A = this chain, B = another copy of it.
Amino acid sequence: MIRVQKEDFDIGIELSKVLKSNTEIGGISSFVGIVREYFGDDQIKTMTLEHYPGMTEKTLHDLEIKARNRWDIKDVLIVHRYGTLEPGDQIVLVVTASSHREDALESCQFLIDWLKTDAPFWKLENRKSGLHWVSARTTDTDAASRWVANTDD
């Protein structure tokens, strides 16, 4: 399941819903992205996430399908927030559940790697020094593309 929302989420509640969805689950992997308080020495006051409604949902849904095709996973949850957030706020949640931990762990990492490069979000930081758009990191593209190189694993 995927959700794109302004509201915060409660990881405990989300995980217990995933757990109750299936009795074959042996492991649940999750990742939460958090707004940091500093960019180097420059304090971040707020971070605003802009996104492309419609395309975002489509992209997250496609990523869920890809993960389900590649790993033996019993459930997937992606929750991505948009709007203006503060340091310490939760941005994104990825949860994958499987009978086997390897599938849960790998698919969670796969999803977070691809969200970085493929989900149509743009981050504007309001820092002490002024407004700054967050740049895409080439290391993120590298992290995502290694899943392409490894398709035959």
Contact = CB atoms under 8 A, between A and B. Distances in A.
A54 interface: no
Contact of A109 (B20, B88, B105): B105
Chain A at the B interface: SS class: mixed
Interface of A: 10-13, 15, 19-20, 23-34, 36-38, 87-88, 99, 101-102, 104-105, 108-109, 112, 139, 143
A26 B19 contact: no
| Copies of this chain | 2
A31 B108 CA distance: 10
Contact of A26 (B33, B101, B143): B33
Nearest to A109: B105
B12 A37 contact: no
Contacts of A99: 36
A28 B90 CA distance: 10
A61 to B, nearest CB: 22
Contacts of A102: 139, 143
Given A102-B143, A108-B105, A112-B105, A88 B36 contact: no
B12 A13 contact: yes
